[in-house]
Amino acid sequence: MQKLPKRLQASLLASVLAVTVAAPAWGQGKPADVSSIPKVGSEAPDFKLSYFDGNDLKEVSLSQYRGKKNVVLAFFIFAFTGG
């Protein structure tokens, strides 16, 4: 394997560092619209999400359970991240 010239190595290192430093800012996206956040005690807006039942990927929505069962949502911020 051929060794890269020092100038090219420095340019690649600078590029990698620039992307590493800027990546968190790109991942932030748009801030949430405060008016769309539901208030405590208000009815939750309908939403859909996918889940794997062991065989297939399926969709479930809140409207499937509205008025039939209680639904509890829990968010584990650092679950499965190792941190």
The pLDDT tens digits of the residues spanning 59-77 come to: 999 899 888 888 887 777 7
Instruction: List strand residue ranges (DSSP E) for the chain, in order.
Output: 48-52, 57-61
User: What percentage of the chain has pLDDT greater than the value 90?
Assistant: 10
Domain contains 7: no
Q: How many domains does the chain have?
A: 1
Residue 42 has pLDDT above 70, yes or no: yes
Residue 82 has pLDDT above 90, yes or no: no
Alpha-carbon distance 30 to 36, whole Å? 13
The angle formed by the CA atoms of residues 83, 30 and 75, to the nearest 5 degrees, is: 40
Domain contains 67: yes
Domain contains 60: yes
Alpha-carbon distance 61 to 73, whole Å? 12
Amino acid at 25: A
Alpha-carbon distance 44 to 65, whole Å? 12
What's the mean per-residue pLDDT of the chain?
76
pTM, full prediction: 0.43
Quick one: average pLDDT of 35-47? 81
